[in-house]
Structures are given as structure tokens and as C-alpha cells.
Structure 1
Amino acid sequence: MSEENPPSVVLRQKQAYQFDIEFASVAPHVLSDEPPPLGQGAGPSPAHLLLAAVGNCMSSSLYFALTKFKNDPQGITTTALAHIGRNEAGRLRVLRIELDIRIGAPAASMNHLDRIIGQFEEFCTVGQSVRAGIPIEVSVYDGEGKKLQ
């Protein structure tokens, strides 16, 4: 990402809570929608899109850190969960995000894993930006199910 060419999207309302999201020419359009009873659930909700952005960024940061040290993660699977509740004013908010990141390779096969696990989150632009307002808990597991963080 470059400050000279910052990412942007255009959202156009289709009907009620449905918006067509255009990612310039870099990706296909996505239709977002709120779940019932507000919307029809015809696409991912804004909360789903937030989770996808945070999960993707954290997963990409981990992948970059692993491969920087010539490790083959043998695939990464990330599950992102939003805890939604009411704030002090009674408004619905994303109160917390949990990420469960699973790499396919066993920990014993990877170099510099302690260093990687200790710092990969710091390089996630989206995750760290969101974390400034929403707590994010990250757990990382290896291919044998061993918890690394």
C-alpha cells in the first residue's frame, strides 16, 4: 500500500440496506446487506466485512513473517469472530474480535517461530488500526493443534 495511491471503494445503494461495493478495477464488486430483520442477508454485513479485513491482514502478516524466514506454513486458515453487544448508550457495537489462526505445518519444522509469533501482529496495518478502538485477541495454532500464542 502506498500513500500516493491510497485504497478506496465506492458504495452505491441498491435498495434499503444493500450496497454495491466497487473496489475500483482491483476486484469484483461485492453486495453487502444487513441480516434480517433490517435487511435481507443478501450479502456480507458490514461486521462480516470488518472481520474479513482484520482476519485477512493478520493472516497475510503471519504468512509474510513465516516466509521471510523460509518457512512453509502449508496453508493458513483463519476464523474471525465478532462479539457484538450494546455500549453504555445502548447502541450495538463490535465489542471484541477473536481470531483463531491455524497454520498447516508443525511448529517443530519452522525457523525463528518465537520471533515471528512475537511480532507479526505489529505489521498488520488494518488489525492494528482497528485494535486502537476494538480489542482483538489472536490465537495461533500449528498443524498439530499446538497453541503457539
Structure 2
Amino acid sequence: MKETEFRVEVERVSGYDFIVRFKDGMESVMMSEPRPLGSGEHPHAGHMLAAAMGHCMSASLLYCFERSRVEAGSMKAEILTKVERNDNGRLRLTKICLKLEPEVDDLERAKRCIAVFKDYCIVTQSVREGIDIEVEVIPSARGSD
């Protein structure tokens, strides 16, 4: 993977339902806010972050297994995300617990991978270290071109 940057577009469909578009013909994803604010019919941003971390950690572990010639069968990840209010009363994701359950053919070699794979997950490590986030808002008058 030699990608140095990528772009994602998020566009409001209605209410708090948004469509997320990716590049190169990848399937779009609908997102929403939970009830009562949104429809609650689609994943919200916290779900997507948890899913991204679970996928990235699973893929990193699988890659380590492959490099170490550990054959993996099924692999399941369960991600529990804790949501709490901060001192200002704002909801925040305060803890994410990932549990990976891979099926492997060699437990001893798998243990070596388990000791090192976490460092290779770009999503989890980026969240852990803090991501530099820039926000720019460019409003336009409604109905203008």
C-alpha cells in the first residue's frame, strides 16, 4: 500500500443521514446519527471508527501471521467502545477495547506475532498518538450557485 493521501466525500442526504463516497468505484456507505437526533438506521461515526480499528488490527495481525508462516483460518474481532460525557457535558469516546480471536495452526509462532503486530496498525496507532486535524468551513448562501 503506497498511498500517501486519500480523499473521502461526505454529503447530506436528509436530516442527519449522510452518504460517504470513496474513490475508484468503492461502494458508498450511509451514515446517520443515533436516535433521537438522527434516524439511527445507519452506523454513526463512532461505529465507523471502531470498525476501522477492528479491521486495521485484524489485517495487521493477519499480515504478521503470513510473514511468519502461521496459517490463519477464521478471525473475529469484537470492539467495545465506551462513551461518556466529559467535564463540559459533551459525549466522547473514552475507551476502545479490541478482542481478536484468530484461528491458527501454530500457537507458538502466533504468540510472537501477537507481541508485535499492534505497532503496524496505522489507524489504531494514529488515534493513540493523536492525529493533527484541520477543519475549514466554507459557508455559501442557500440557493446560490
TM-score by length of 2: 0.83
Contact 1:71 1:111 in 2 (8 A): no
Aligned to 1:36: 35
Structure 1 residue 128 corresponds to structure 2 residue 125:
yes
Task: Specify every segment of 5 or more residues in structure 1 that has no aligned partner in the other structure, as ranges.
Answer: 134-149
- Higher Cα Rg, which structure: 2
CA displacement, residues 21-66 of structure 1 (integer Å, 9 cap, x when unaligned): 0011241110000111010112111111001111000000000001
Across the two proteins, how many residue pairs are aligned to each other? 130
Aligned counterparts of 2:61 and 2:32: Cα–Cα separation in 1: 30
Task: Specify every segment of 5 or more residues in structure 2 that has no aligned partner in the other structure, as ranges.
Answer: 131-145
Aligned counterparts of 1:83 and 1:17: Cα–Cα separation in 2: 22
Contact 1:122 1:128 in 2 (8 A): yes
Aligned to 1:97: 96
TM-superposed CA distance for 1:118, in Å, is 1.1
One-letter code aligned to 1:126: V
Aligned counterparts of 1:95 and 1:26: Cα–Cα separation in 2: 34
SS of the counterpart of 2:59?
helix
Matches within 5 A, 1:61-140: 61-105=60-104, 109-110=106-107, 112-133=109-130
| Identity over aligned pairs, percent | 33
Cα RMSD for the two superposed structures = 1.5
